[in-house]
Amino acid sequence: MSDDNHLLIGRANGHLFRREDKTESYVVIPPAHIITDSDGAAWTFGFKYNGYGEINVLRNDVDTGEFAERIEYRRGQVRIFGKAGWRTFSRSRRHFI
């Protein structure tokens, strides 16, 4: 989602977030609140918990169906960590692998 070639626009907590640049590598949620990837997508945690202390992972306010303890941006890839270990968001923008 973008209305400008140089502006990254994502959605989190029901609000649009505009960023000039994607998030820097090694930023981790928490303690960060949001990660902006190179698509402009905003990554945040939702309000659902599972029984392992993990929280549901949202991309542009849409539940990805995944739970994790943390979300990290590294070398242009979104990674999540949970009881299944580290997983990386696929290049197809559909799955965590």
Q: How many residues does the chain have?
A: 97
Closer CB to other proteins, 45 or 96, in the complex: 45
Asked if 76 interacts with other proteins (CB under 8 A), we say no
28-46 burial, b at 16+ Cβ within 10 Å, e below that, comes to ebeeeebbbbebbbbbbbe
Q: Exposed, middle or buried, 53 (CB in 10 Å: 0-12/13-18/19+)?
A: exposed
Q: Which is nearest to 73 in space by CA: 21, 36, 33?
A: 36
One of 15, 75, 91, 94 touching other proteins (CB under 8 A): 15
Q: What is the DSSP letter of 21?
A: S
- Residues 32-71 vs other proteins: string with x where CB under 8 A? xxxxx-------xx-x-------x----------------
Question: Minimum distance between the CB of residue 81 and other proteins, rounded to whole angstroms?
Answer: 14
**What's the closest the beta carbon of residue 77 comes to other proteins, in angstroms?**
17
Nearer Cβ to other proteins (40/96):
40
